[in-house]
Amino acid sequence: MNKTVTSVMGCQWGDEGKGKLIDILAGKYDLIARATGGANAGHTVYIPTADGKTKKHVFHLLPSGIFHENTQCVIGNGVVLHLETLLQELDALKEEGITALSRLYISDRAHLVFNYHKIVDGLQEDTKGHKKIETTKRGIGPAYSSKISRTGIRVNELKNFSKFQELYLENLKYYQDIYRFEYDPEPELSNHQKYFEILKEQIIDTSAYLNQKLKNNKSILIEGANGTLLDIDHGTYPFVTSSNSSVGGLLTGLGIAPQYFQDNIGVFKAYCTRVGAGPFPTEIHDQTAEDIRRIGGEYGSTTGRPRRCGWFDAVAAKYAIDINGITSINLTKLDVLSGLKEILIGVKYQIEDSEYTDTVLGDCDMLAKAKVEYISLPGWDEDISSARSYGDLPKNTQDYIEKLQEIIGVKITSIGVGTKRSDIIFI
């Protein structure tokens, strides 16, 4: 069995910069696949334009490797799909002369997100008061809830529209009976008939498709969504997403075996960010956080909300590395730290009478009490965005990278120093 699968996973609270690395690597692979999550994910890539500039693209459902014309893209069974959003992304590419539909394959087992799921998402948040999770309100949680309760509707149901309509109305009534909201189903039902006509040739058994490709020694790059610390099982529950965003979700979300994996690339920012509520041990509460947010453009690509900013959390990093079997690391947005006089790395949690160096507690109330032990390194003033080799980096920058690598125990093999495709150093 040849090992031809590489995964790229976020190992913090999402927004690590996975999209850029996927876009850079995609041309080397036969297929790119999304396995989990939905339109709550926002993967940003900057594509060169004819005039020498770059254009920003944010994908919520399409794999970030869609710009590579010789690459096939797959949306797996573990994804929850809002078809309107997917078609909007395809239309936006078409307007730029990029035909992507014929290269996209959609799992017939993927579950659908409807607009009433979005309404329910907002209503559920409203009932939680000060205990809000602060979701993206994209309907992801309710859609996964429908799936787990076995009332969800899969893409395959669109092939028999009368059955689809029956299931749709049953599911809608279930939510209306609980939350008492008005909703006209006809526009969405009509639209889904149209969506199916557009997409029907691309709806297949993607697990069988991928496994056949693997047997033919084709290479697959898997694009993780969200981040390990948002995983429904291994994240900071209940302040998490609704799917398994760690390595296990990639396997079940595509229906392929772990024996094919050759490399699990973990993506980490050179600092940490988090959107929404939940414990954040290394969060910064002074002007430094605002400086990082401003320089790094730390605002949610899905919601636009300002991200909370903090120092690199090596405790959480080691936890994510262990869970995912990370074999190499892509360190992103290192350029954002230029100009800081001092840079901290969180290396230990003190929680009441216990110390933790490589695990994130499942008890969020306890985790919120963590006192973090830091080590301090001198910063650097130089602009590193034009660096293209490791030797181009200032000594203090190299010292920071090497200290991180020493603490977390996995080799850093690539470093992001800007937003463009070319703003990366491979070591």
Q: Per this entry, what is the length of the chain?
A: 427
Rounded to 5°, angle at Cα 231 from 225 and 237: 140
Question: What are the backbone dihedrals phi and psi of residue 404, each rounded to the nearest 5 degrees, phi first?
Answer: -55, -45
Phi-psi bin for 139: left (phi > 0), alpha (psi -120 to 50), beta?
A: left
Tokens representing residue 396 in the block: 């203090």
CB contact burial 287-326 (16+ within 10 A = b; e otherwise): ebbebbbeebebebbbbeeebbbbbbbbbbbbbbbebbeb
Structure-token match 């094919």, residue found: 260
Distance CA 172, CA 196 (A): 20
Residue carrying structure tokens 């965005």: 385
- Taking the C-alpha atoms of residue 399 and residue 337, their distance in angstroms, rounded to an integer, is 13
Measured CA to CA, the distance from residue 274 to residue 3 in angstroms comes to 34
Question: Rounded distance, CA 246 to CA 226, Å?
Answer: 9
- Please list the active-site residues: 15, 43
Count CB neighbours of 395 within 10 A.
Answer: 9
CA 271 to chain centre: 17
C-beta separation of 412 from 405 below 8 A: yes
Distance of CA 421 to the CA centre of its chain: 19
Residue 108 in contact with residue 205, Cβ under 8 Å? yes
Q: For residue 378, what are the β-bridge partners?
A: 342
Amino acid at 256: I
Instruction: Please check whether residue 256 is in contact with residue 214, taking contact to mean a CB–CB distance below 8 angstroms.
Output: yes
Q: Indicate if the alpha-carbon torsion angle 418, 56, 321, 219 is positive or negative.
A: negative
Considering only CA atoms, which of 57, 15, 43 is closest in space to residue 268?
15
d(CA 162, CA 175): 20
Going through 168-258 in order, the beta strands assigned E by DSSP cover 203-204, 220-223
Provide the token pair at 407. Answer: 């603490």
